[in-house]
Structure 1
Amino acid sequence: MGIVKRDPYLAPYESAIKGRHDHALWKLNQLTQGGKFSLSEFANGYQYYGLHHESDGWIFREWAPNATDIYLVGDFNNWQETIAYKCKRDVDTGDWELRLPEDAIQHGQFYKMHVYWNGGKGERIPAWAQRVVQDPQTGIFSAQVWSPNAPYVWKINSFNPQTSPLLIYECHIGMGQDAEKVGTYNEFREKVLPRIVKDGYNAIQIMAIQEHPYYGSFGYHVSSFFAPSSRFGTPEELKALVDDAHEAGIAVIMDIVHSHAVKNEMEGLGNLAGDPNQFFYSGERREHPAWDSLCFDYGKDEVLHFLLSNCKYWLEEFHFDGFRFDGVTSMLYYSHGLGESFCNYGDYFNGHEDDNAICYLMLANTLIHEVNNRALTIAEEVSGMPGLAAEFKDGGYGFDYRMAMNIPDYWIKTIKELPDEDWKPSSIFWEIKNRRIDEKTISYCESHDQALVGDKTIIFRLVDADMYWHFRIGDETERVHRGIALHKIVRLATISAINGGYLNFMGNEFGHPEWIDFPRAGNGWSCKYARRQWNLVDNPELCYHYLGDFDRNMLAVIKSEHGFTDTPIEEIWHNDNDQILAFSRGELIFVFNFSPSHSYSDYGFLVPEGSYAVVLNTDAKEFGGFGFADDSVEHFTNVDPLYTKQHKGWLKLYIPARSAVVLKKK
């Protein structure tokens, strides 16, 4: 298979790789009945199940094979069970159906199911509900009839994401505003989106879109998979956000959660109709041991139908440009990857892999690219499973990118454990470009994970409490100067070595202070730490704007090199004793001095002969540096007879301590 040809070390495991591939092909053939229809047609469940307004009234359907009776109750019948709202069962499929006249239900009304089964009953929200709302007084969730008279009219119907490079701004709608409250889709569209456009990102990756009962779960304990979170506004307001983003050239990636589901029964799928295993594995595999959640049974066709339809729903109905799949490692292994080291290839093929989940991921990527061949899929996966971001036809899983989760771990470990004088350029260079040759990655220094309570962002690790007392320009301590310098260098090193995309979490580009702590009982249900303080980066008297300005200029430099991610990374020089690293990509040369105390004059590198201009310098005063070098000087290579035939010469630079510079060949 293709991935084995490119990596001969996989040869001993080719039969396992082919077995997984063939399993997915077999399941694809089964689901499409031998190709009688497409996988996309199979994934139309959201158009069939749930509550829908039709030309002659309303139709409601739910899959609940263990139920003995289902009633629809709501505002329209005073929440009482009546014959008129009693569903009928299809004995063969386990589907329940209810047809109602036009005047039986109105847009905006609330409803639920009363479900009966042998030995019990319960109040439930339909699994396929597309609108779910929480009562602000009681905290109780209900489905809501959603069929506005004037459906949203899209301004942009077809969008082609920019992917060379893909520059992702990871964000959360609720915490995207300065005020101590839950933000809205409209506020994000009006106030935050313009910032993202101005900063130079070309994609946003939105968290917590699928409805979740507990706000503090960051959207990862999903209850209603087809309902955009009503905390932030209406479905039309989410569509307007996506539409405006597309109009501004911004792709919109959704953080989708198919790795597990919330355990809640009244709001979620935990016990929809008396069968706790309707959607989930049975026995010990049902509950996730670390996440307090439930694990989908990917071996059931009905579950595949539910999840694949969910993928298509968000693409078609909300025009998302793709997905970042959360928790892929947890899906791949029976152990969820917990307590495993993954030291060699054998660890990926020793029989502890969930073939059903692997099959689902292959089918999901096939479906997504069938629905939209420009869609982007990203795997959040930490074990290093080979082939995850390789094409399905080559034996891969079909993701377009995988998260380079080694990089933030490396930076955190380095900052925590090594004094500055022990930072080794050879180690740094290896880590920021360590990936499989046939798989594209999304590189990042830190995501939302590093900003949560219990962890620390890079700026907080570097500066700590001095952020509160010495981040005013002119009052910086040595710790602040060091933190600002390294914050920029770490980011520049990471983005300069990407082979697919780069990701930044909202606010981290300007060193947003403190941690993220969602409103909860322990903090008095305060939103003080679940917001973004844009006033800090907007204040010209504070150091935050140095970091924000640098980030903007850094992205501009990366984008100035056409086809940046396709240009090879060519090492020019590294010296661990000097703590100097230099490499080129196309017409750009990146030079780093990680030394905290040694500046170098006339430090020479052999580069293609010609003249070079400085296009970015972390030590520039405009970015909070000392401005030791004159960046207006044009740098010419010096002739060396030994390298004349190679058309190379010596480029000699002044490189201040703890700084980095980018030059471009003129």
Structure 2
Amino acid sequence: MQKLKIIENDPWLEPYSSALEGRHQHAIDKEMELTGGKINLSDFATGHLFFGLHRTEQGWVFREWAPNATAIFMVGDFNGWKQSSEYQLKKTDNGVWELQLPAKAVKHGDLYKLIVQWDGGSGERIPAWAQRVVQDEETKVFSAQVWSPEFRYKFKITDFKPTTDPLLIYECHIGMSGEAEKVSTYNSFRESILPRIAKMGYNCIQIMAVQEHPYYGSFGYHVSSFFAASSRFGTPEELKALIDEAHSLGICVIMDIVHSHAVKNEIEGLGRFDGTPDQYFYADAKREHPAWDSLCFDYGKNEVLHFLLSNCKYWLEEYHFDGFRFDGVTSMLYYSHGLGESFSNYADYYNGYQDDNAICYLTLANRVIHQVNPFAVTIAEEMSGMPELAASFHDGGIGFDYRMAMGIPDFWIKTIKEKKDEDWKPGHIFWELTNRRFGEKTVSYAESHDQALVGDKTIIFRLIDSDMYWHMQKGDTTFKVDRGIALHKMIRLITATTINGAYLNFMGNEFGHPEWIDFPRSGNGWSHKYARRQWSLVDNTKLMYHYLGDFDKAMIDLIRSVPGFNLAPIFQLWDKSNDQMLAYQRGNLLFVFNFHPTNSYTDYGILVQPGKYKIILDTDSKEFGGFGLSDDTVEHLSLYDPVHASHNKEWLKLYIPARSALVLQREGSDPVIS
């Protein structure tokens, strides 16, 4: 067998070549087993077209996989919720049950469930492949719903291709996207929030909590119905209209897909669907996730692979999503779920405690997704650093397009919490932000929704704390507010401009949304007060929030103005720990940071390419809530130095205020990356 390219690119993987080659061959063998070599994997992943309830020329057909069931009845509005022979399914082959119905037997909007019987018991169940599930507002009971509207949504844009150079992701949650203390909707998001995102310059939205989940406060991570878009936010047609509108604005749409675990609920979810604990999940000690109170899929079962791979294809084809951010990948990769692991050396990734079936599934999922849509985006939320995760399948990798750079927000939190301002080391910051695997693209971010949840704090809240409540009005700021606003901009600028693939921001964090996220629960009186976004704060020009929002837009616009920005190599030009100064070059842009809390520098020299430089972004500008200490209209000429002339370097002398950063462009040259 020819050596895998991932091993050629990283000789440190050589001792583990047999494990890597074994994983790669496992995926090849499994794909052959599933397809028989006669179809491609995308053709195999069509379970959603077979299972569930479907309208046919003859009427309706319903199918379900339940190998341990002894009888299954469909009950609902159409038969008074009582078991009857005309709505009894018949068992066919391989544990599949089927029911043929005339056209008048059910109608659009009818609610229904299954009564599944097995030896020794029975229970109500939501069909596993249900594509529409709703909750009764009074009883809070979930039911499947017949969804066959007279006018199905017809997409206006059918050939959308995401812009990925770079991918600028706005992470969002539909339900908490409005300002009112209630659950917001697909329609309100489309009408009110999408225009904001487009104006801010982001070219991708990552939507959380799309798959139906019984408990709103789970943030969508305890999924019950994998093929149903959450009805809390509206109808399938309204979600499709949202995605279509995003595409018309040049914004691609990816969803958080949860295949790492499932809710334990048996009536609403898949737990003991046919009376057995191991229909979809592991049956032994691996069945329950020890930290998440959820169930773990058995990725070794072909029926489970069929279910999950079909789920990937369904969201791409039915809703025109442009890809996925796979949640909880670390939990999938390891039998330990990554809990208590240090991952301090390569051996930790190849010591036999990895779930090879899960690794195989993730590899096949990426195969399916990119067969369905070659332009689709896949992102792995993974914190262990497994090497081949975001390498292509052909190179021997698992095949994700990006991996989340989860160490970056952890680094920022640790720095803010544990280090005095004068101990911040710019060189260390630069190393943390640019330390990544060769050939693997990452999603860099200063904070996501994780850092905004109750029990944690956003960056702005850590920096400003209680002063946020009283001193964010212009003319009434404190030292703490001024410091927080300055560092908030600098942290985002250095994180966003050192990317090698994508940048992510969570909804509202760009303007320093105050406080935390706390979904309605018994502990807060089922309040929506903290499960919303207060857009009026950034819209109010009397408050300081709009400065942060304006800066974020300017930063994103700058990145988008340079074609291929994320492809340009980054060269560190200057790192002076005592001065807390850092400078790096990307293409024809120069980034200069002064992290010192008190020292401003006059005529500070940095060795650069000869030329004329103009400031194009200044964190200390008054338009961004700074002090405006620099004259940004001044052009800066590099100064000849015979000592460095042979290296084509000259001195650029700058005035750089404390706690500020400058972006300069070398004039007479195009910023386009060659």
Tell me whether the two structures share a fold, i.e. TM-score over 0.5: yes
**Separation (CA, whole Å) in 2 of partners of 1:562 and 1:85:** 59
Secondary structure of the residue aligned to 1:642 is coil
Matched, 1:193 2:210: no
**Separation (CA, whole Å) in 2 of partners of 1:578 and 1:605:** 13
Pick the aligned partner of 2:67 from 58, 65, 68.
65
Amino acid of the structure 1 residue aligned with 2:525: G
**Separation (CA, whole Å) in 2 of partners of 1:369 and 1:20:** 20
**Separation (CA, whole Å) in 1 of partners of 2:506 and 2:432:** 20
**Separation (CA, whole Å) in 1 of partners of 2:512 and 2:284:** 45
Shift of 1:645: 4.0
Which position in structure 2 is the counterpart of 1:131? 132
Deviation by residue 1:16-70 (Cα, 9 ceiling, x = unmatched): 000000000000000001x111101100000000000111100000000000000
- 1:468-479 matches, within 5 Å, as 468-479=469-480
RMSD: 0.6
**Separation (CA, whole Å) in 2 of partners of 1:206 and 1:615:** 32
Amino acid of the structure 1 residue aligned with 2:297: F
Which position in structure 2 is the counterpart of 1:331? 332
Shift of 1:496: 1.0
Which position in structure 2 is the counterpart of 1:352? 353
Q: For structure 2, list consecutive stretches of 5 or more residues without a partner in the other structure.
A: 668-674
Secondary structure of the residue aligned to 1:409 is helix
Amino acid of the structure 1 residue aligned with 2:20: I
**Separation (CA, whole Å) in 2 of partners of 1:420 and 1:605:** 23
Which position in structure 1 is the counterpart of 2:52? 50
Which position in structure 2 is the counterpart of 1:18? 21
- 1:189-338 matches, within 5 Å, as 189-338=190-339
Contact between 1:561 and 1:587, CA under 8 Å: does it hold in 2? no
**Separation (CA, whole Å) in 1 of partners of 2:221 and 2:278:** 20
**Separation (CA, whole Å) in 2 of partners of 1:26 and 1:273:** 29
**Separation (CA, whole Å) in 2 of partners of 1:196 and 1:14:** 45
Deviation by residue 1:425-448 (Cα, 9 ceiling, x = unmatched): 111010000100110000000000
Amino acid of the structure 2 residue aligned with 1:223: S
Amino acid of the structure 2 residue aligned with 1:499: N
Secondary structure of the residue aligned to 1:661 is strand
Secondary structure of the residue aligned to 1:269 is coil
TM-score by length of 1: 0.99
Which position in structure 2 is the counterpart of 1:102? 103
Which position in structure 2 is the counterpart of 1:369? 370
Which position in structure 2 is the counterpart of 1:454? 455
Which position in structure 2 is the counterpart of 1:8? 11
Which position in structure 2 is the counterpart of 1:39? 41
Which position in structure 2 is the counterpart of 1:537? 538
TM-score by length of 2: 0.98
**Separation (CA, whole Å) in 2 of partners of 1:653 and 1:407:** 29
**Separation (CA, whole Å) in 2 of partners of 1:454 and 1:553:** 31
Shift of 1:606: 1.2
**Separation (CA, whole Å) in 1 of partners of 2:558 and 2:97:** 58
**Separation (CA, whole Å) in 2 of partners of 1:238 and 1:622:** 37
Amino acid of the structure 1 residue aligned with 2:15: P
Secondary structure of the residue aligned to 1:484 is helix
**Separation (CA, whole Å) in 2 of partners of 1:393 and 1:489:** 39
| Identical-residue share of aligned pairs (%) | 69
Amino acid of the structure 1 residue aligned with 2:21: K
Q: For structure 1, list consecutive stretches of 5 or more residues without a partner in the other structure.
A: none
Contact between 1:48 and 1:61, CA under 8 Å: does it hold in 2? yes
- 1:519-558 matches, within 5 Å, as 519-558=520-559
Deviation by residue 1:529-557 (Cα, 9 ceiling, x = unmatched): 00000000000000000000000000111
**Separation (CA, whole Å) in 1 of partners of 2:423 and 2:174:** 40
**Separation (CA, whole Å) in 1 of partners of 2:561 and 2:646:** 29
Secondary structure of the residue aligned to 2:272 is coil
Shift of 1:632: 0.8
Which position in structure 2 is the counterpart of 1:632? 633
**Separation (CA, whole Å) in 2 of partners of 1:266 and 1:356:** 28
Matched, 1:29 2:32: yes
- 1:624-663 matches, within 5 Å, as 624-663=625-664
**Separation (CA, whole Å) in 2 of partners of 1:454 and 1:418:** 21
Amino acid of the structure 1 residue aligned with 2:55: H
**Separation (CA, whole Å) in 2 of partners of 1:346 and 1:294:** 28
Amino acid of the structure 2 residue aligned with 1:42: F
Which position in structure 1 is the counterpart of 2:485? 484
**Separation (CA, whole Å) in 2 of partners of 1:583 and 1:437:** 19
Amino acid of the structure 2 residue aligned with 1:339: G
Shift of 1:648: 2.5
**Separation (CA, whole Å) in 1 of partners of 2:192 and 2:586:** 35
Which position in structure 1 is the counterpart of 2:440? 439
Amino acid of the structure 2 residue aligned with 1:140: V
Amino acid of the structure 1 residue aligned with 2:70: T
Which position in structure 2 is the counterpart of 1:76? 78
Shift of 1:417: 0.1
Shift of 1:393: 1.1
